[in-house]
Structure 1
Amino acid sequence: MLKMALFFLVVSLVAGFFGFSGISAATASIAKILFFIAIVIFLVFLVLALMAGQAIF
């Protein structure tokens, strides 16, 4: 998912460079949403891993 966010970020930068502001804004917002979803999933798995690590001891 993070790769998709980086892909949309690159597409947004290229579209902005060539003057397609509407496409640039849309892909930037998609990249931002995917990035935050990836952060939330990472935090959920981090908490689950820490809880599983405590259950062993």
Structure 2
Amino acid sequence: MASKILLFFRNLIHQEDGITAIEYALIAGAILVAIYLIVGKVGTSSSATFSAINSAI
């Protein structure tokens, strides 16, 4: 059983398709993290702006 799993990963490493899939997954993960951080920063900034407007009214 362990030898089949080891053989699967060896074949995956030597295939170009597996490497490409991993690269795309890493890029997608980096993009998701960037979007998460940007949305969080914009949300915090927007919240502060609306709070300031609310207290001015």
In which range does the TM-score fall when normalised by the shorter chain?
Answer: 0.5 to 0.7
Question: One-letter code of the match for 2:45?
Answer: L
The runs of at least 4 aligned residues of structure 1 exceeding 4 Å deviation read none
Could you tell me which runs of 5 or more consecutive residues in structure 1 were left unpaired when the two chains were aligned.
Answer: 1-18
- Output the TM-score relative to the length of structure 2: 0.64
Structure 1 residue 48, shift from structure 2 partner: 0.4
1:48 aligns to what? 45
2:29 aligns to what? 32
Q: Which has the larger radius of gyration?
A: 2
- Output the TM-score relative to the length of structure 1: 0.64
CA RMSD of aligned residues (A): 1.2
Q: Equivalences for 1:4-43 in 2 at 5 Å?
A: 20-43=17-40
How many positions carry a matched residue from both structures? Answer: 39
Could you tell me which runs of 5 or more consecutive residues in structure 2 were left unpaired when the two chains were aligned.
Answer: 1-15
Q: 1 or 2 for the larger relative contact order (CA 8 Å, sep ≥6)?
A: 1
